[in-house]
Structure 1
Amino acid sequence: MGNIIKWLLIGLGGLLGLIVIALVAVLLLVDPNDYRDRIEAAVEQETGRSLTIEGDLSLSIFPWLALELGRTTLADAEGFHDAPFLEVDQVDVGVQLVPLLLRRELVTRTVVLDGLTVRLMVDEQGRGNWEDLLPEEADPEPAPMPDEPRAPRDLGETLANVGGLDIRNARLSWEDRQSALRLQVDPFNLDLDAVRIDDPMQLQMDWVLTGDDLPRVAGELSSAITVDGTLSHLALDGLRLEVTASGDDLPADGIAASLRGNPRVDLDAQALDWPDLVLETLGLRAELALQGRQTDTGPEAEGRLQVATFNLRELIARLELDAPDTADPDVLTRVGLSGDLRWADEVLHLTGLDWRLDDTTLNGEISMHDFAGPGARFDLAVDEIDLDRYLPEPAETANGPGEPGPAGAGEIELPLELLRGLDLAGDFRVGRLKVAGLRMSDIHARLHTDNGLIRLDPTSAALYDGRYEGRLQLDARPDIPQYAVRAQLEGIDFDPLITDLTGDESLLLGRGNLVLDVTTRGNNMDALTATLNGNGRFRVTDGAIRGINLAKTLRDAQDRLRGRSPEDTDEPRRTDFSELTGSFVINNGVVRNDDLSAQSPLLRVTGNGQANLPDETIDYRLRTSVVGTLKGQDGQPREELRGLTIPLRFRGDLYDPSISVDIAEALRGEQLERIEREVERGRERLREDVEDRLRGLFD
């Protein structure tokens, strides 16, 4: 037995000695550069492309069987680049010799690729210059029968001996001649630790991406990667992606963004769990708890999004953009967002939405099925908002504030192409709203869009102790947009409404109704005014008209007709009425009314005329009849005014008309009245004379 062991040891030692002698002989007698031509010929025969090894080949054997390759190039496919498809300055690959000889186990050291360059191209026919290097697709093997057990595969045992990967100073170019897109990544560096199953491996990457008419994007990625033995579960701990973009159209300091978290990937279930995704850029911080999976119908995901409150004005300043001109400089300083999201069947659902803008909160849900259109369905509610804070201050024209500006002012530039692509439908509600000075509450509107036809139908609101019901429509399909408004106001208090709308004291007091049905079209205020058409009617009760005291005006007119000086009194310039009614027709901006009627205990007023909105002129006549007794300054009744009709004429500037008494008509009216009175007196005298004569005959 001892002799057997002895001879075995002697044999093993001899074998090892022979191996050592053989390895030394290979190193001394074999020059790998002698095989350069054979290697190049074999590659060309296999791929059809020429391989050129310009640098030296270096071979080492113990303890690593290693090959170092100098500068090497692989030609591009015919019809693509003249430059090589692939270039590399240095390649270093090595495997441990002893595990390879004794256990047939492949243990590699870090693979080093230095100066790697890859040029990818898609030609005009859509053919890629890498396609001829891919193996031909073989016919798929039939799936095993259910009772046929599959051979277990544990790739982890194989990859556990991989020593890592080190790519230095790499360059990657991409050219798509179909879309004229050119991109380049230069440099690209990657450093991956030796593979360790169930233990973290450190990954470091950095790159710079450039392209025609694109910003320069520099990025860094780091993470500790853990995989299990079956490569079915992947954990990325401390994942951090830093990206900086710079270019002519970006701020001088560029735009930096950071993405981090600890995602988990289940490759077998095709699922992602990322509970702590954090994105930071330009002072914004967004947090997302995300879960995703691949299903038979496509990818699905769900999560919770929260954007911390930020200052939108500061964000605009960082982007070196002009902040919007707002009446209140303190708006757009507090913006935040939170909500639940879900992606399924190519539709993004946002539910539990809580959007904050300064003092306003929006809640509800949105489902977006088209981001290009865009297309969405929604149900949203706003608690309160003062839009006047977000609108520019009213411009002062050359004629002064509130006065008409030059022709062509008020240009309206609508994004017609965007409006034509909208596919929106939904409801929104507003608790309280202020816009253009008007105050409304309990607003509800339903929005529909159809290839540029945009409707708010129906719409309703409570305002000024009354109600509004109506429909608004914008037709953006033609080159010149068209508008339509149908509105019905009931029980409205006109005094505060007109005061809030104009900013001046209202000329009309009272409560009433208004029905309006108008259309118009145009790209500026002048065109909208000139093409305004439609009709309406109104009724106001228990009201008054400020700015004119018809009773005093009648007394003054009667005094002038009689050659007397008008009384000097401090009576208020106001005319009360119990009811004011009328209707109007609008034809190309000219508003015509022929049936104005106002009634009070003392007066009856009728009127007719027109207001030319494009020319901003008015020509209107009021006829005021006294049905009661007017008292003068001395308190004495003026019975002579009873039954008198005084015509008033409003003409000239629409916003500051001159008011005059139509003397000619008044005189004609008074003369007719005198003639009628004289005729009546003559009839009375004739009747009395006839009666006297008849009595004399019978007596």
Structure 2
Amino acid sequence: MGMARVVKVLLWLVGGFVAIFVVAAVALYLFFDPNDFREEIAGSVQNQTGRQLTIEGDISLEVFPWLAVEVGKASLGNASGFGAEPMASFEKASFSVRLLPAILRQEVVVGAADIEGLRLNLVVDKHGRSNWADLIPDESSGESSTDDNASDESDGSIDVNSIEIVDAMIRYTDEEAGETIVLDGMNLSVGRLRGDGSTVPLSAELRFDMQPGGLSGALTLKTAPAFDMESGVLRFDGLSIDGSIEGVASIPTTFKLQTDGIEVSTNDYQVSMQTVDLSMLDMRIVADVQPFSYENSIAPKASIAIDAFSPRTLMQLFDVTPPETADPSALSRVVVVATAEMTATAIELTDVTIKLDATTFTGALSIPSSDTGSYQFDLTGDSIDLARYMEPPSEGGGGADAGAAPIVIPVDLIKPLNARGKIKLARASLGNIVFENIDVGLNSSNGRMRIFPIASDFFGGNYSGDVRIDVAGAAPTLSMNEKIADVNLARLAKAMFDQENVTGTIEGSFVLTGKGSDLMAIQRNLAGNMAMELRDGSYTGTDIWYEIRRARAMLKGEPPPEAVLPAKTDFSAVRMTGVVTDGIMRSDDLFAELPFMQLTGGGKVDIPAGTVDYGVSARIFDRPEFQKYATPEELEEFTEAVIPLKITGPLASPSVKPDLEKLLRKQVEDEIKDKLKDKLKGLFD
């Protein structure tokens, strides 16, 4: 049965009821005082509903030309099992109806309907039973259904001059869900209401409080509704809602929602809206909502645009201190455009464009509607300068580490994060370090975050990684499984250390784990394995062959040889593996292949301090390159000789020198051996 037909049938019933009531009212008015019938009225309600009706105030009645009823303080008892508090009460209510239209034409013409001090207490108990269910007719029973053959040609109509509700309070308690919603201070004013599609001025104001959650506030509403009984279309023209909310941000948040109109088709359960404009939290959101059905589950879809806003300002509204960044203008501008669809479990955002400062992301997002849901994303970005978002350099300079605060693992961010997705970036830079064609995956839940896969082009080669951060335990744990391959060593050294003294190709693998609240603490107890290889390059700044020749000359008391400038050591291969314990990497398999020399040895690298301490042995071969740069004496002494070297100092610029202590010791030992040989030879001559 359509909505218009239902309304017409109800009007017939109301008209008939009013006609009978009018005759009784006239008799009461002429011969009796209506206050004398309180008990009869209460008994009738008791019989019909099983509820106790208590009328404490006076009842007044007028008949011509309007049937006007005014009732003082009254209350309706609660359903069985819901306590002694009344379900509904009011301080005063009045209602007037014109008699002749109701009797002659079944037209309901209401002068005014007013109610003051309404108190409505709605409860759903722990078993899902409500205290109002027994007052609603059972639509499945034959008694409550209306005959489908009822006339659709009725002239019944409704005309209400005004409705006023003053100082109302509605409390809704869901004991099953543990939730309470209170609407109080409610005032509602409705102008002339007809069923012919003409608009009605309507205004309302109220306060609200929602628990748990501590969400409260106040709002005012203005609109001009209209209902066409024939078509079953309900309109709200010029809808405006504004107010303030407490509990969303650190300070009361004002908001304003506007739309030119909302239309509800009650016959086919469709809702359509004009453009919706919402302003709150220093943001403006404009949405074009597509028509949607409310017959079953509601799933509206809209194109939304969020005007430029400042994440820094938004953080402050939520009592979050914005991070200090190297670029003070970072995190100052975000613009969002997307198509949004609300489902039972999430808000799905597709065709997303997010502009964060100078970076643009496109793709899709899913925002869960519950605290236990998972954020999901698939985004592609153009370019981002990560250096803008890092901490600013410490005052006074003094190097990257001088006075710099340690980088803290964001436990409070990771622990509650439930997210899964991937991001692609064309380019990301951190100072002079540049990653290109980046793919990053993220999976985070229950305090465990995994960033995998991680892949990018990196200075002519590539980088891949698998990073895990576990903050579920007492101390955060960082695990890394990373690889670099075919990386241009010259470009890497220039970017990381601003040095132009090394060339070649580097590849390596790092499987490391550490615990601590910040990266410095993690470095101090880092454990795992490392492997690295350099190929076909050179190191400018140290000429290992010259240092060996200079040490020989010093030991022999000879002038130093002439240096070949610039000082440089070429290599065809350098490789090593190591075991890391407590932040110290130890290795005993260093191997380096130079043009006429091999280096082998071992030592340690202090990762937190960034220093190296290696002892190696240089074995010199009789090769053409050697002959070119050696004197006959050097050729004789160094061919197939093993010379100790020390590699020490900062990782970025280590010093490579002959180990003079070992050389002197060896020289003394050789001299002693020679003297012993001479003496032994004299004994046998």
> Is TM > 0.5 for Structure 1 vs Structure 2?
yes
Q: Match for residue 7 of structure 1?
A: none
The answer to whether 1:611 aligns with 2:605 is yes
Cα distance change on mapping 1:198 and 1:47 into 2, 3 Å: closer
Of the candidates 394, 416, 423, which is equivalent to residue 428 of structure 1? 423
Cα distance change on mapping 1:652 and 1:567 into 2, 3 Å: same
Which amino acid in 2 is paired with 1:402?
Answer: D
SS at match of 1:35: helix
Conserved 8 A contact 1:233-1:267: yes
Q: Match for residue 363 of structure 1?
A: 362
Q: Aligned partners of 1:33, 1:505: CA distance in 2, in Å?
A: 98
Cα distance change on mapping 1:152 and 1:470 into 2, 3 Å: farther
- 1:671 Cα deviation after fit: 6.2
Superimposed CA distance per residue, residues 349-399 of structure 1 (whole angstroms, 9 cap, x where no aligned partner)? 433221101110011234567754543664421000011211223568999
Cα distance change on mapping 1:252 and 1:331 into 2, 3 Å: same
Q: Aligned partners of 1:110, 1:356: CA distance in 2, in Å?
A: 54
Q: Aligned partners of 1:458, 1:680: CA distance in 2, in Å?
A: 67
- 1:604 Cα deviation after fit: 3.9
The answer to whether 1:464 aligns with 2:459 is yes
Q: Aligned partners of 2:121, 2:552: CA distance in 1, in Å?
A: 100
Superimposed CA distance per residue, residues 15-64 of structure 1 (whole angstroms, 9 cap, x where no aligned partner)? xxxxx9x9999656432222223222322343343322222211111110
Q: Aligned partners of 1:315, 1:603: CA distance in 2, in Å?
A: 63
Cα distance change on mapping 1:75 and 1:151 into 2, 3 Å: closer
Of the candidates 437, 460, 463, which is equivalent to residue 442 of structure 1? 437
Q: Aligned partners of 2:129, 2:313: CA distance in 1, in Å?
A: 47
Which amino acid in 2 is paired with 1:62?
Answer: F
The answer to whether 1:519 aligns with 2:512 is yes
- 1:286 Cα deviation after fit: 1.0
- 1:137 Cα deviation after fit: 6.2
Q: Aligned partners of 1:211, 1:345: CA distance in 2, in Å?
A: 21
Which amino acid in 2 is paired with 1:42?
Answer: S
Q: Match for residue 70 of structure 1?
A: 72
Conserved 8 A contact 1:543-1:576: yes
- 1:258 Cα deviation after fit: 2.8
Cα distance change on mapping 1:320 and 1:380 into 2, 3 Å: closer
Cα distance change on mapping 1:448 and 1:70 into 2, 3 Å: closer
1:238-387 equivalent positions in 2, closer than 5 A? 238-246=238-246, 250-252=249-251, 254-294=253-293, 298-319=297-318, 321-343=320-342, 348-366=347-365, 372-375=371-374, 378-387=377-386
Which amino acid in 2 is paired with 1:228?
Answer: D
Which amino acid in 2 is paired with 1:578?
Answer: F
Conserved 8 A contact 1:100-1:106: yes
Conserved 8 A contact 2:249-2:317: no
Q: Aligned partners of 1:160, 1:259: CA distance in 2, in Å?
A: 29
Cα distance change on mapping 1:673 and 1:536 into 2, 3 Å: same
- 1:227 Cα deviation after fit: 2.0
Q: Aligned partners of 2:181, 2:115: CA distance in 1, in Å?
A: 22
Cα distance change on mapping 1:78 and 1:372 into 2, 3 Å: closer
Conserved 8 A contact 2:415-2:446: no
Q: Aligned partners of 1:95, 1:664: CA distance in 2, in Å?
A: 117
SS at match of 2:102: helix
SS at match of 2:463: strand
Conserved 8 A contact 1:170-1:189: yes
Structure 2: runs of 5 or more not aligned: 1-21, 679-685
Which amino acid in 1 is paired with 2:76?
Answer: L
Superimposed CA distance per residue, residues 469-525 of structure 1 (whole angstroms, 9 cap, x where no aligned partner)? 444455677766655544443332223323433xx3448611213130403142433
Which amino acid in 2 is paired with 1:667?
Answer: L
Q: Aligned partners of 1:416, 1:136: CA distance in 2, in Å?
A: 51
Conserved 8 A contact 1:164-1:195: yes
SS at match of 2:300: strand
Q: Match for residue 614 of structure 2?
A: 620
> Normalising to structure 2: TM-score of the pair?
0.81
Q: Match for residue 113 of structure 2?
A: 111
Cα distance change on mapping 1:474 and 1:508 into 2, 3 Å: farther
Superimposed CA distance per residue, residues 78-137 of structure 1 (whole angstroms, 9 cap, x where no aligned partner)? 554544332211111111022234334332222111111122334455543334444456
Cα distance change on mapping 1:80 and 1:149 into 2, 3 Å: closer
- Which gives a bigger RCO, structure 1 or 2 (Cα 8 Å, sep 6+)? 2
Conserved 8 A contact 1:494-1:508: no
> What is the root-mean-square deviation in Å for CA atoms of aligned residues?
4.3
Structure whose CA Rg is larger:
1
Cα distance change on mapping 1:654 and 1:71 into 2, 3 Å: same
Q: Aligned partners of 2:610, 2:107: CA distance in 1, in Å?
A: 96
Of the candidates 155, 160, 163, which is equivalent to residue 161 of structure 2? 163
Which amino acid in 1 is paired with 2:99?
Answer: L
Cα distance change on mapping 1:272 and 1:636 into 2, 3 Å: farther
Superimposed CA distance per residue, residues 510-554 of structure 1 (whole angstroms, 9 cap, x where no aligned partner)? 1213130403142433245524202323123122154x4434432
Conserved 8 A contact 1:443-1:460: yes
Superimposed CA distance per residue, residues 315-337 of structure 1 (whole angstroms, 9 cap, x where no aligned partner)? 33455542222111011222101
Conserved 8 A contact 2:171-2:182: yes
Which amino acid in 1 is paired with 2:92?
Answer: Q
The answer to whether 1:594 aligns with 2:588 is yes
Deviates more, 1:197-206 or 1:309-318: 309-318
Q: Match for residue 10 of structure 2?
A: none
SS at match of 1:188: strand
Cα distance change on mapping 1:493 and 1:675 into 2, 3 Å: farther
Q: Aligned partners of 1:188, 1:507: CA distance in 2, in Å?
A: 75
Cα distance change on mapping 1:24 and 1:219 into 2, 3 Å: closer
Structure 1: runs of 5 or more not aligned: 1-19, 682-699
The answer to whether 1:203 aligns with 2:197 is no
Conserved 8 A contact 2:215-2:245: yes
Cα distance change on mapping 1:65 and 1:637 into 2, 3 Å: farther
1:577-592 equivalent positions in 2, closer than 5 A? 577-588=570-581, 589-592=583-586
Q: Match for residue 35 of structure 2?
A: 33
Q: Match for residue 15 of structure 2?
A: none
Q: Aligned partners of 1:430, 1:494: CA distance in 2, in Å?
A: 23
Of the candidates 63, 80, 97, which is equivalent to residue 61 of structure 1? 63
Cα distance change on mapping 1:561 and 1:64 into 2, 3 Å: same
- 1:299 Cα deviation after fit: 3.4
Q: Aligned partners of 1:134, 1:304: CA distance in 2, in Å?
A: 39
Count of aligned pairs between the two proteins: 647
Superimposed CA distance per residue, residues 438-478 of structure 1 (whole angstroms, 9 cap, x where no aligned partner)? 21112234455687775555443222222334444556777
Q: Aligned partners of 1:23, 1:624: CA distance in 2, in Å?
A: 121
Deviates more, 1:353-362 or 1:557-566: 557-566
The answer to whether 1:576 aligns with 2:575 is no
- 1:621 Cα deviation after fit: 0.5
Cα distance change on mapping 1:159 and 1:435 into 2, 3 Å: farther
Conserved 8 A contact 2:414-2:449: no
Cα distance change on mapping 1:315 and 1:71 into 2, 3 Å: same
Cα distance change on mapping 1:382 and 1:520 into 2, 3 Å: same
Q: Aligned partners of 1:450, 1:116: CA distance in 2, in Å?
A: 48
Conserved 8 A contact 1:491-1:513: yes
SS at match of 2:193: coil
Cα distance change on mapping 1:494 and 1:666 into 2, 3 Å: same
Q: Match for residue 232 of structure 2?
A: 232
> Normalising to structure 1: TM-score of the pair?
0.79
Q: Aligned partners of 1:282, 1:450: CA distance in 2, in Å?
A: 28
The answer to whether 1:172 aligns with 2:170 is yes
Q: Match for residue 132 of structure 2?
A: 130
Conserved 8 A contact 2:415-2:445: no
- 1:187 Cα deviation after fit: 0.6
